[in-house]
């Protein structure tokens, strides 16, 4: 999240992108609005400066928020020109993700004023002081914890076989993976695994693999590699395939994101 233009592409922001297993934080100054898009992650969006972030759903007007949760697979556009913002992504199949999704339901969910004041202050300070990656990640995970903390587990736990399948898939996604191989690893028939995976995660197997490959590519780009190098790191055929996938899931060109 940029100012100015790069290669004729309008900027969408400048900042830092940090990933961990099951989540990420994108923090920085936003510029151009996104197109409509959707992705697999739950998105926690926080206005870190004095302004608002704005979201739009199809056939609706723009709505302003200070803090808002966008559920997984929710089609939306986003705009926060000139504002310091944090986008925190959480995998919906994680315990935290399932808890957040159950508590906040479908559609955009505005968070009450003051709910995350301490966590937002910590994020602003960490960003201003250019804190180490580990510290900024810890701040982001504190936000997730604040929204998902409870003595109770979410009402619907992820099926253990799918939980294991995701772990195996994450370990193998850097190489060629097939549905049959992952199904075999968790002792299910391919057809049973196909249906159970969709039922438990809300996404089909192949699009989920694509989502994980996109994560690998983004991590490579965030680490300082070129978009072409990032595309290969994620197993994409070329940078064009990576860029198309990125735009579909985030609503902007990958080249419009500038690292801080």
Asked if residue 42 lies in contact with residue 71, where contact means CB atoms within 8 angstroms, the answer is yes
**Each residue's pLDDT tens digit, 113-157:** 999 999 999 999 999 999 999 999 999 999 999 999 865 655 568
Q: Is the pLDDT of residue 182 over 90?
A: yes
Query: Considering only CA atoms, which of 82, 94, 100, 83 is closest in space to residue 44?
Result: 100
d(CA 245, CA 63): 26
Query: How many Cβ atoms from other residues are within 10 Å of residue 160's Cβ?
Result: 9
Query: Considering only CA atoms, which of 43, 89, 253, 251 is closest in space to residue 242?
Result: 253
Query: Considering only CA atoms, which of 165, 137, 160, 158 is closest in space to residue 17?
Result: 137
CATH 2.60.120.10 is right for the domain spanning 5-155+252-259: yes
Q: Which token pair is 250?
A: 């985030």
Q: Which token pair is 52?
A: 């608002």
CA angle 254, 122, 246 (to 5 degrees): 10
Query: Considering only CA atoms, which of 94, 1, 102, 108 is closest in space to residue 44?
Result: 108
Taking the domains of the chain in order of start, what are their residue ranges?
5-155+252-259, 160-202
**Each residue's pLDDT tens digit, 77-105:** 999 999 999 999 999 999 899 999 888 87
Note the pTM of the prediction, 2 decimals: 0.92
């Amino acid at each position: 999240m940029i100012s100015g233009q790069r290669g004729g592409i309008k900027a969408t922001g400048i900042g830092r992108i940090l990933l961990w297993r099951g989540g990420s934080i994108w923090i920085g100054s936003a510029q151009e609005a996104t197109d409509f898009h959707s992705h697999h992650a739950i998105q926690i969006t926080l206005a870190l400066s004095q302004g608002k972030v704005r979201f739009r759903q199809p056939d609706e007007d723009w709505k302003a928020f200070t803090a808002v949760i966008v559920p997984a697979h929710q089609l939306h556009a986003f705009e926060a020109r000139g504002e310091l913002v944090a986008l925190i992504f959480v995998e919906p199949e994680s315990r935290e993700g399932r808890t957040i999704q159950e508590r906040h339901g479908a559609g955009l969910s505005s968070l009450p004023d003051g709910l995350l004041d301490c966590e937002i202050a910590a994020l602003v300070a960490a960003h201003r002081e250019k804190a180490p990656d580990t510290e900024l990640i810890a701040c982001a995970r504190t936000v997730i914890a604040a929204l998902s903390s409870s003595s109770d587990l979410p009402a619907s736990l992820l099926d253990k076989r799918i939980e294991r399948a995701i772990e195996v898939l994450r370990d193998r996604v850097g190489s060629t993976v097939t549905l049959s191989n992952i199904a075999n690893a968790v002792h299910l028939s391919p057809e049973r695994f196909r249906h159970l995976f969709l039922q438990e995660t809300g996404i089909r197997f192949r699009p989920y693999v694509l989502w994980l490959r996109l994560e690998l590519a983004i991590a490579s780009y965030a680490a300082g590699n070129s978009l072409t190098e990032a595309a290969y790191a994620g197993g994409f055929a070329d940078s064009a395939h990576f860029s198309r996938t990125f735009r579909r899931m985030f609503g902007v060109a990958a080249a419009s994101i500038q690292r801080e």
